[in-house]
Structure 1
Amino acid sequence: MFVFKFLNDQLLKMQWLYDLVRSLVENVFNLDMTTRLGGSIHFFIYDIIKIFILLSVLIFAISYIQSYFPPERSRRILGRFGGVSGNVLGALLGTITPFCSCSSIPLFIGFTSAGLPIGVTFSFLLSSPLVDLASLILLASIFNWKIAIVYVVVGVVLAVIGGTVISRMKLEDYVEPFVFSNQIDGLEEQTMTAKDRLEFSNDQVKDIVKRVWMYIILGVAIGAAIHNWIPENIIAALLGQDKWYSVLL
């Protein structure tokens, strides 16, 4: 238990980074952490560094795992199962093969044209962008493991239910005929060397970080501006559990 707590605090919550930034704020900037300004500056620096470290490491790890599960291999695995068991496997496989939502349409066409049931395909496509290793670890680092695990379980259950419902509704007649008759390009499985996988993972990190860095900084800056400046009772009054619109906000 001690080892788990140590790893959780030092690797996920990065207590070492928290202490390092605190030392920077107090000893270099000569600001008191208990003041609004000191707390906000610490919040901004700590969260920016923490998020970029976690994001880079997780994207690299997930991309490396994903390199072993190209769409064609995923299709072959899912093709062995049907019914609810196929939906469950599709949802679980989607959690370890995190294809982004922008690839949903070509994957749907490719999987369906290859003969996979629509329900199984949808379970895979629902869980893939919704639940992944990055979500699990980020939620665990920000909140705790219970919330992270509940999120994953709920995501997988929703994917299974969604795929099962779609399967029971027999929606094949509403799919355009060309989907069943044409194979989509790009589903051929390619052999990658260890070097190729490392280069692929590194490229994924650069590409994604390049696209989201501005939004991360903006989001953390807003959080830092709110941190210690807006009283907690005001936030609770606006976003309390008794407010129906709190989830939407």
Structure 2
Amino acid sequence: MLLKLTDVLIYEWIGLDPESRLVGAIHFFIYDSLKIFLLLAVMIFVIGVIRTWLPEDRLKRWMSQGGLWGNMVAAIFGALTPFCSCSSIPIFISLLKAGAPLGVTFSFLITSPIINEYLVILMIGEFGVPITVAYVVTGLIIGVAAGAILGRMKLERYLENDILGSTVETKTAVFTTFVSRVRFGFNEAISVIRQIWIWVLVGVGIGAFIHNYVPQDAIQDLIAKTGVFSVPIATLLGVPMYGSCAAIVPVAVVLFEKGIPLGAALSFMMAMAALSLPEAIMLRRTMKLPLIALFFGITALGIMATGYLLNALSGVLIDNASPTEDPPIVMEIDVRE
């Protein structure tokens, strides 16, 4: 339906040439933008309503218990919060001040930007359900494993002195009626879209340019030259960059379509989401440089391992992501014969 409306708008009402590369880029930009904003508005509203039933106080108490269970709860809690790498830092600090173990708070800090509701919505719309599920599961594993490793290293001495030992009071919203929960979901959808709409348009714009102007052969040749190093190269390229996942998902999709391996494309997206130069600068307020370097290094290694795993599973994931594409092709061949 949405694709047909875009076709009518571009080719019939405006009367643009469908053979033009520029027109193709415009079509891609309009269609993907409308699709993404529609998905965001509906799904963030639904998830926002569901979140009103989550016991946040209990989650924080579970995280404070420490151990692998605490890492798992923190990673899941991070996946349910719609924050980027920099926006997650205030909650990371509040958890530290509330007495949560350092490794547990790192599980939250890693997972929160890698996985959130609007990223999952975008990925389902662009990559399909199987690849999205694999991304979410591996993202949670990275958060739990990296947090557990950092926690066992006893690195509290690298925190700034005023971070530990103090407490903060947090206010939890109380929802007494279904109307109040619906209102929260509606406000959540508006708030998130207001924060990321520019990133969505930028990302779709870059994706439209790559999709219509970057030769597929050039991308494939570049990846062929890097070979097994495509995953670490993609990860290292993503680490210093900063941007919303709303911007990088459309770019990752187009790069994948142009021949970049699935694991490399998702590693780039994970690295850009979880690690960034602005995040490192903000973290310097809370911890010393050796701890920042360890945090970035261990997380980057986890992302690289995930990239290689996703590369190994890409054949199965891609086949399951589009199970209905093959039959129409067979039918078309039969008719021609």
The one of the two structures with greater contact order (alpha-carbon pairs below 8 A, sep at least 6) is 1
Moved more, 105-114 or 148-157: 105-114
Identify the residue that residue 83 of structure 1 maps to in structure 2. Answer: 67
What secondary structure sits across from 1:19 in the alignment? helix
Contact 1:109–1:184 (Cα < 8 Å) also in 2: no
CA distance change for structure 1 residues 53 and 174 in 2, over 3 Å: closer, same or farther?
A: same
Taking a change above 3 Å as real, the CA distance of residues 232 and 108 of structure 1, as seen in their structure-2 partners, is: closer
The separation in 1 between residues aligned to 2:84 and 2:210, in whole angstroms, is 31
Per-residue CA deviation, residues 31-50 of structure 1 (Å, 9 max, x unaligned), is: 45454344223212101111
The CA deviation string for residues 160-202 of structure 1, in whole angstroms up to 9 with x for no partner, is 11111111111233334544432213x1333124333333333
Alignment of 1:22 onto 2:2: no
- Tell me: CA distance 1:106–1:151, structure 2 relative to 1, closer, same or farther (3 Å): same
Q: Percent identity?
A: 39
1:137 aligns with 2:121: yes
Runs of 4+ in 1 over 6 A off after TM superposition: none
Structure 2 counterparts to residues 97-112 of structure 1, below 5 A = 97-112=81-96
One-letter identity of the residue aligned with 1:131: I
Match of 1:190 in 2: 173
Counterpart-to-counterpart distance in 2, 1:115 and 1:147:
36
Could you tell me which amino acid in structure 1 is paired with residue 172 of structure 2? E
Secondary structure of the structure 2 residue equivalent to 1:183 = coil
- The residue number in structure 2 matching 1:58 is 43
Alignment partner of 1:228: what SS? helix
Q: Which amino acid aligns with 1:61?
A: V
The one of 37, 47, 56 equivalent to 2:32 is 47
Question: Deviation of residue 147 (structure 1)?
Answer: 2.0
**Cα displacement (A) at 1:153:** 1.8
- 3-state SS in 2 of match to 1:188: coil
Distance 1:50 1:241, change over 3 A: farther
Gap change, CA 1:218 and 1:163, over 3 Å in 2: closer
TM-score, length basis structure 2 = 0.59
Please state whether the residue corresponding to 2:100 is helix, strand or coil: coil
Q: Which moved more, 1:214-223 or 1:87-96?
A: 214-223
- Deviation of 1:155 (Å): 0.9
Q: Residue 57 of structure 2 corresponds to which residue in structure 1?
A: 72
| Amino acid aligned to 2:59 | S
Contact 1:123 1:163 in 2 (8 A): yes
2:140 matches 1:156: yes
* Number of the residue aligned with 1:9: none
Distance 1:211 1:136, change over 3 A: closer
Structure 2 gap ranges (5+): 239-337
Counterpart of 2:334 in structure 1 is none
Deviations 1:5-40 (A, max 9, x none): xxxxxxxxxxx2112212333332334545434422
The more displaced of 70-79 and 131-140 is 70-79
CA contact (8 A) 1:22 1:33 kept: no
Verify the 8 A CA contact 1:25 1:42 in the aligned structure 2. Answer: yes
Aligned residues: 231
CA 1:91 to 1:198, structure 2 compared with 1: closer, same or farther past 3 Å? Answer: same
Matched, 1:210 2:199: no
User: For residues 223 and 105 of structure 1, do their structure 2 counterparts lie closer, same or farther at Cα, with a shift above 3 Å needed?
Assistant: closer
